[in-house]
Amino acid sequence: MEIKKYITENEPKMLEDLFSLIRIPSISAKPEHHDDMLACAERWAQLLLEAGADEALVMPSKGNPIVFGQKIVDPNAKTVLVYAHYDVMPAEPLELWNSKPFEPEIRDGHIWARGADDDKGQSFIQVKAFEYLVRNGLLQTNVKFIFEGEEEIGSPSLESFCQEHKELLKADVILVSDTSMLGADLPSLTTGLRGLAYWEIEVTGPNRDLHSGHFGGAVANPINVLCQIISQVTDAEGRITVPSFYDDVEEVPQAERDMIARIPFDEEKYKKAINVKALFGEKGYSTLERNSCRPSFDVCGIWGGYTGEGSKTVLPSKAYAKVSCRLVPH
C-alpha cells in the first residue's frame, strides 16, 4: 500500500516529530509546568502547519491554551473535527521507570515514555494521516483540530471555550482517538466512556503527631480509621455500599449486553497481560461490562505518618486518600 511506503520513507522524521512533543513535560496537574503547557501547544501548532493545515492557532482559555487548526478544501464539503489532548499525567513514581519518562526510548518495537500513548501518540497518528492525505491530494473533507491541555485534570476550561467558539468548531463528525482497542488485529469503535468523580479524603485525629509508646492503643489512629472507612465502601461481591449509590444507575439493556458478550475477549490473555491470577468486580457482570458500563470505586493514593526509611514510632495526626469513581449514566 502507498501509505505503508510513505510511513517507511518518512519514519525517521515522524519519530523525531513525535519525540519533540513527548520531550515536553506537559503535566497539567502541576502548576510548575505552566510554561511547558504553552511550549507543547506551540509545538503542536507548528506540526499542524507542517502537516498542511491552512492555519493553526494557540488560543487562550480560562486555563491552559487550546490549539485550533483547520484545512478547508470545500466550504460545501463535510467537516471532521479531531479532538485530542496534549497534557499528560505525572510520571511518578519515578523509581519504577526503566528510562527517563520524558526522554523517549525504543525497546522491543515499543516507544517507552510518558505521553507516547495517552494522548500524544494517538493524536500524532491523526495528524500524520491528515498530512498523508494532503500531500497526495486525497483529502475530500474539511478537517479541524482542537487539542486541549487539561483533559487529565477534568477539562475544566473546555466547555466554556466550546461555547464561545461554536462557529469555529462547527463540524459534522467529531473524531476522538483517546480510547482503547481490544487488540492490535481487532479494529474497535468506542461508542461511550464512563465519566469520573475524583476527590480527596482527609481524616484528622489528635492535634499533633503522637509517640505510639505513650498514646498507641489509647487514641484512634487516623490511618487505621481511614483504612476502615475505605474497606467498607465495597463489599465482598464488588458492590459499592454507599447508600442510594445505585438508585438511578442506568442498567445496560439486554440487547446491548448480548452484543458485549459477542466481543472476542480472551480473559486469560487479559489476566496474563497485567500479571494477575484472578479478576474481581461486581457480581453478575462480565469483565467487559464491569470496565465499560458499570460504576467503580478505587483508591488512587493513600498516605499519612512516616514513610521514609527505617522506623519512626509515630501515631499521625492526619491521614489522606485520593479516591475516584468511574461513572455511568445517572
| Burial (0-12, 13-18, 19+ Cβ within 10 Å), 314 | middle
Indicate if 151 belongs to the active site. Answer: yes
Indicate if 36 belongs to the active site. Answer: no
Radius of gyration of the chain measured on its C-alpha atoms:
24
Side-chain half-sphere exposure of 328, counting CA atoms within 13 A: 17
Q: How far is it, in rounded angstroms, from Cα 98 to Cα 94? A: 9
Helix (H, G, I), strand (E, B) or coil at 169: helix
- State the cell numbers at 231: 474497606
Burial 188-198 (b: 16+ CB within 10 A, else e): eeeeeeeeeee
Query: Which amino acid makes up residue 233?
Result: V
Q: Measuring CA to CA, which residue among 138, 93, 113, 115 is closest to residue 3? A: 138
- Catalytic residue from among 87, 148, 150, 152: 87
- Catalytic residue from among 118, 119, 148, 151: 151
Catalytic residue numbers read 87, 151
